[in-house]
């Protein structure tokens, strides 16, 4: 787990003060009555259980066709088609690449996001079609993919519309679909029922249980609309976090345009250019995840995996600090970098270049 | 072959996890399910092994036949009836394939379930697990309709198997007779290396049992868990040396880690793969509550909980699988081979099952 992800989780989730007050005064509904999608209380009779069941079975069936698996490189997550031209909502971490986890670790380091990367979209019947990544917001964990082949119905894709997640109240009944543990042959998208526990602009919590592979999959309200995208879990079974659809809506055009909305800030154009990419986490050690081809760093002997520990005589403790030191530099400056490479310490003097 | 990595929900360590009940633990929600499970509850018993709750059981014949989860049975098996009395049970059938065991107790006039079809029950349908009391032990919905499992799900694995951390091959004498398991290499951080075993050692004995082949060594390990200590005798050159090795645990991947999140109370079943056909639900149930009947809102028994399989899933062995097996179980076709507590009394005679051609 990266520190960024930890940071992200600190945003919300104060303990909710449950408002699940039984409404004993409500008259029992007539048999065959419909479940009110806005209701925030429990079913109290078999008739009410049946009404809720009738709604859920109908909607699971209806929303199935739009629930997909997103296969990106070696990883498999989920997604949902939200427009007839094949726009897919998913989680940012489903469509990013990660370095292999260190020995004994469970998660690798996120690599710089690239829009336009090829992914495969697996439909509920197992058919795979092509797609390409659009934009992400890594901190929010929102991501978009465009299916690049024509849909089955006169070129159109089956889809489920997106609702305003801001209207969702704690206690409301919801269900989720997705591909827990990745898609499995012969298994349909997997349905789970639950209730909204808490909802804010940046995250929604439900007791619809999730696990790896569900990421990117849809959370639906009982109007049959998408209100969230599965993102992450905590130790408790009631701690399942979804990206609210409003978080997508507030930067919809940027995501569609393929922007990495929260991409780490690049140094000011006037500053000297080194040609390295660091870990996404600005507080992390200044270790190099990638080098620009034939950039000053590559020419000067820096390697991916090196950790820059000194800038001339200043000790470097974070990516942020490194960027600060780079700001006043200009092309042609010679900087003495001290780097840690495995167990070795090396000193490299590199002439900064000019940003293209 | 490399296994496909799973894009994972970033697991977070919640410093202050909100206090909020999951469906299963929500007593208010369980109340309207009481009449739903009422009839099935009368057919549900508690199965205890060595005086500990091990599983639930489903009465399938008024003359004292009870189905339960085979892999949870060990030691002295007893059945606790609804009036609180505990009676001895003997295992009359043990089917490793479905992980079902048929128990027989000396009782008459029990209330047996009638198994109803599960195949047409759609996703989103409520399901409830009957328990020994009037509240269901779990409620949830059908997550995936009854289906044939595929891939790794059909293979029986023991996730808690002990790991020795050696690469063995058969060791033979000059006549080609097996004399042990030769260690060709040891894992760098493995249990064997830590205990002092070396490449070249020939394992000839484990926990007092002779080892004459690498397969035999593997079989012995299969019955042991990570963390358990095992006494290993090896032949090193012409010397015999004895080592106490504390077995390691199976390497855990991200999926294992996440599936175990939330299993403090609702532990996963040790045997949770290797079934042919299941109905998948999102019920949250503890491993020791498997073996009982699962009903829909009409009270129809759709099958028996067979495994807490992961964070998001509990698997039900469907009626369609159970019904044709029952007469065979009663006829002794799946009699346990090495039952420790099987009394000498003959089984009650049962008619031979009508074999159907597939």
Is the same domain home to B284 and B205? no
Give the one of A190, A197, A233 whose C-beta lies nearest to B144's C-beta.
A190
Weakest mean pLDDT among A67-81, A289-303, A330-344, B5-19? B5-19
Same domain for B146 and B49, yes or no, is yes
pLDDT at B201 over 60: yes
Contact A237 B297 (CB under 8 A): no
Of A78, A86, A178, the closest CA to residue A132 belongs to A86
Question: What values do phi and psi take at B24, rounded to 5?
Answer: -60, -35
How many domains does the structure of chain B reveal? 2
Rounded Cα distance between A332 and A150, Å, is 51
Domain identity same for B83 and B28: yes
Indicate if B49 and B92 belong to the same structural domain.
yes
Instruction: Point out the least confidently predicted range of A281-285, A326-330, B280-284.
Output: A281-285
Interface test with B, best of A15, A122, A136, A211 (most B CBs within 10 A): A211
Boundary residue ending a domain (B218, B246, B274): B246
Q: What is the pLDDT of residue B22?
A: 75
Q: Considering only A39-43, A233-237, A266-270, B124-128, which range has the smallest mean pLDDT?
A: A266-270
Q: What is the mean pLDDT of chain A?
A: 87
Residues B173 and B122 in one domain: no
The verdict on a CB contact (< 8 Å) between B143 and A238 is: no
What is the pLDDT at residue B83? 87
Is B101 in the same domain as B185?
no
Q: Kindly report the length of chain B.
A: 358
Residue A17 scores a pLDDT above 60: no
Let me know whether B28 and B140 are in one domain.
yes
Supply the range of the domain harboring residue B148.
23-154+259-330
Which of these ranges, A66-70, A84-88, A160-164, A234-238, has the smallest mean pLDDT? A234-238
Tokens 């509550």 correspond to what residue? Answer: B289
Decide if B83 is inside a domain: yes
Which of A73, A156, A50, A179 has the alpha carbon at shortest distance from A119? A73
Nearest C-alpha in A relative to B149: A186
Q: Does B125 reside within a domain?
A: yes
Whether the pLDDT of residue B10 is over 60: the answer is no
Model confidence at B256, in pLDDT bands (50, 70, 90)?
A: confident
| pLDDT (0 to 100) of residue B338 | 56
Domains of chain A: 1-7+44-261 (2.40.10.120), 276-351 (2.30.42.10)
Nearest CA in chain A to B37: A46
- Domain assignment present for residue B349? The answer is no
Per-residue model confidence as pLDDT tens digits over A99-146: 877 766 667 788 899 999 999 999 999 999 999 999 999 999 999 999
Percent of chain B with pLDDT over 90: 72
pLDDT number for residue A270 = 67
In a domain, B358, yes or no: no
Q: Which pTM was predicted?
A: 0.78
Instruction: Report how far residue B245's alpha carbon sits from residue B233's, in angstroms, rounded to the nearest whole number.
Output: 10
Q: Residue A260 — pLDDT band, cuts 50, 70, 90?
A: very high
In terms of domains, do B128 and B208 share one? no
Q: Which of B62, B57, B93 is nearest to B325 (CA)?
A: B93
CA dist B33 and B158 (Å) reads: 35
Return the pLDDT at A266.
Answer: 62
Residue A166: name the closest of A195, A204, A136, A216 by CA: A204
Residue of B nearest to A45 (CA): B32
The Cα of B9 is separated from the nearest Cα of chain A by a number of Å equal to: 4
Give one DSSP letter per residue of A332-344, joined into a string. T-EEEEEEEETTE
| % of chain A surpassing 90 pLDDT | 68
Q: Where are the alpha helices (DSSP H) in chain A?
A: 3-9, 46-63, 245-249, 252-256, 296-299, 319-326
CA dihedral in degrees (B67, B69, B70, B72; nearest 10)?
Answer: -140
Asked whether residue B39 is domain-assigned, the answer is: yes
In A276-315, which positions are buried (b, 16+ CB within 10 angstroms) versus exposed (e)?
A: bebbbbbebbbbbbebbeebbbbebebeeebbbbbbeeee
Using the beta-carbon criterion (under 8 Å), do B8 and A215 form an inter-chain contact? Answer: yes
Asked if the Cβ–Cβ distance from B12 to A216 is below 8 Å, we say no
Of B246, B272, B301, the domain-final residue: B246
Residue of B nearest to A69 (CA): B7
Of B181, B215, B246, the position where a domain reaches its end is B246
Of A273, A331, A267, the closest CA to residue A297 belongs to: A273
How many whole angstroms separate alpha carbon B115 and alpha carbon B102?
A: 16
Of A214-228, B294-308, B332-346, which gets the smallest average pLDDT?
B332-346
B37 and B113 assigned to the same domain: yes
- Contact (CB, 8 A) for A88 and A147: yes
Q: Do B35 and A46 touch (CB under 8 A)?
A: yes
State residue B254's pLDDT score: 79
Mean pLDDT of B68-80: 96
Model confidence pLDDT, tens digit, residues B327-355: 999 999 999 975 444 443 444 444 444 43
Asked if B149 and A186 come within 8 Å (Cβ–Cβ), the reply is: yes
**CA separation for the pair A4, A284 (Å, rounded):** 9
How far is the C-alpha of A174 from the C-alpha of A213, rounded, in Å?
A: 19
- Is residue B118 a part of any domain in this protein? yes
- Same domain? B66 vs B97: yes
Do B55 and B117 have their domain in common?
yes
Same domain, B176 and B317: no
> Looking at residue B43, what is its pLDDT?
97
User: Looking at the domain assignment, is residue B320 inside a domain?
Assistant: yes
Q: Does some domain include residue B340?
A: no
CATH of the domain at B71: 2.40.10.120
Look up the CATH number of the domain holding residue B172. 2.30.42.10
The β-bridge relationship of strands A142-147 and A87-91 is antiparallel
């Amino acid at each position: 787990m990266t520190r960024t992800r930890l940071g992200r989780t600190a945003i919300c989730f104060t303990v909710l003060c449950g408002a699940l007050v039984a409404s004993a005064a409500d008259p029992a509904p007539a048999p065959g009555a419909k479940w009110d999608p806005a209701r925030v209380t429990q079913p109290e009779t078999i008739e009410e259980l049946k009404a809720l069941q009738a709604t859920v079975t109908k909607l699971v069936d209806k929303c199935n066709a739009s629930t997909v698996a997103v296969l990106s490189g070696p990883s498999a997550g989920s997604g949902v088609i939200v427009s007839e031209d094949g726009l897919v909502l998913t989680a940012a971490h489903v469509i990013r690449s990660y370095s292999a986890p260190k020995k004994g670790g469970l998660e690798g380091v996120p690599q710089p996001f690239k829009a336009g990367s090829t992914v495969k979209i697996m439909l509920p019947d197992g058919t795979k079609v092509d797609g390409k990544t659009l934009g992400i917001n890594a901190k929010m964990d929102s991501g978009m993919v465009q299916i690049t082949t024509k849909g089955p119905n006169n070129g159109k894709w089956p889809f489920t519309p997106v609702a305003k997640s801001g209207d969702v109240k704690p206690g409301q009944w919801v269900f989720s679909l997705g591909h827990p543990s990745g898609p499995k042959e012969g298994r349909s998208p997997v349905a789970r029922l639950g209730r909204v526990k808490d909802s804010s602009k940046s995250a929604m919590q439900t007791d619809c249980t999730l696990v790896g592979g569900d990421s990117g999959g849809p959370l639906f309200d009982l109007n049959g609309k998408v209100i969230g995208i599965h993102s992450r879990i905590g130790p408790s079974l009631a701690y399942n976090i979804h990206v609210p659809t409003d978080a997508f809506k507030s930067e919809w055009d940027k995501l569609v345009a393929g922007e990495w909305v929260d991409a780490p800030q690049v140094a000011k154009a006037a500053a000297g250019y080194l040609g390295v990419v660091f870990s996404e986490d600005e507080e992390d050690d200044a270790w190099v995840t990638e080098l620009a081809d034939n950039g000053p760093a590559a020419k000067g002997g820096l390697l991916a995996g090196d950790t820059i520990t000194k800038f001339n005589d200043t000790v470097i403790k974070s990516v942020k600090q490194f960027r600060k030191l780079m700001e006043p530099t200009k092309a042609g400056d010679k900087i003495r970098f001290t780097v840690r490479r495995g167990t070795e310490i090396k000193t490299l003097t590199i002439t900064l270049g000019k940003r293209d | 072959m490399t296994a496909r990595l799973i894009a994972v929900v970033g697991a977070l360590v919640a410093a202050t996890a909100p206090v909020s009940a999951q469906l299963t633990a929500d007593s208010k929600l369980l109340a309207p399910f009481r009449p739903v499970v009422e009839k099935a509850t009368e057919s549900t018993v508690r199965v205890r092994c060595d005086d500990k709750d091990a599983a639930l059981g489903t009465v399938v014949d008024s003359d004292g036949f009870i189905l339960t989860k085979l892999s949870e049975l060990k030691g002295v098996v007893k059945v606790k009836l609804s009036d609180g009395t505990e009676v001895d049970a003997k295992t009359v059938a043990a089917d490793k394939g479905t992980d079902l065991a048929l128990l027989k107790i000396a009782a008459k006039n029990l209330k047996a379930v009638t198994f109803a079809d599960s195949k047409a029950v759609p996703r989103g349908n409520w399901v409830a697990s009957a328990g020994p009391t009037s509240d269901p032990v779990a409620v949830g919905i059908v997550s995936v309709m009854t289906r044939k499992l595929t891939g790794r799900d059909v293979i029986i694995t023991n996730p808690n198997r002990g790991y020795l951390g050696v690469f063995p091959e058969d060791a033979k004498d000059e006549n080609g007779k097996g004399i042990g398991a030769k260690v060709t290499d040891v894992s760098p951080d493995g249990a064997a290396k830590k205990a002092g075993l070396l490449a070249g050692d020939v394992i000839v004995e484990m926990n007092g049992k002779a080892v004459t082949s690498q397969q035999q060594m593997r079989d012995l390990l299969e019955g042991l868990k990570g963390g358990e200590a095992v006494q290993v005798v090896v032949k090193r050159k012409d010397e015999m040396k004895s080592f106490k090795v504390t077995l390691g645990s199976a390497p855990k991947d991200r999926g294992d880690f996440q599936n175990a999140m939330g299993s403090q109370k609702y532990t996963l079943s040790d045997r949770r793969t290797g079934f042919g056909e299941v109905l998948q639900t999102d019920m949250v149930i503890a491993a020791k509550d498997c073996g009982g009947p699962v009903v829909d809102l009409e009270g129809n028994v759709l099958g028996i909980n067979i495994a807490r399989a992961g964070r998001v899933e509990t698997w039900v062995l469907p009626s369609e699988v159970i019904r044709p097996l029952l007469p065979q179980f009663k006829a002794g076709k799946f009699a346990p081979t090495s039952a420790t507590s099987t009394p000498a009394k003959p089984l009650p005679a049962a008619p031979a099952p009508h074999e159907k051609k597939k």
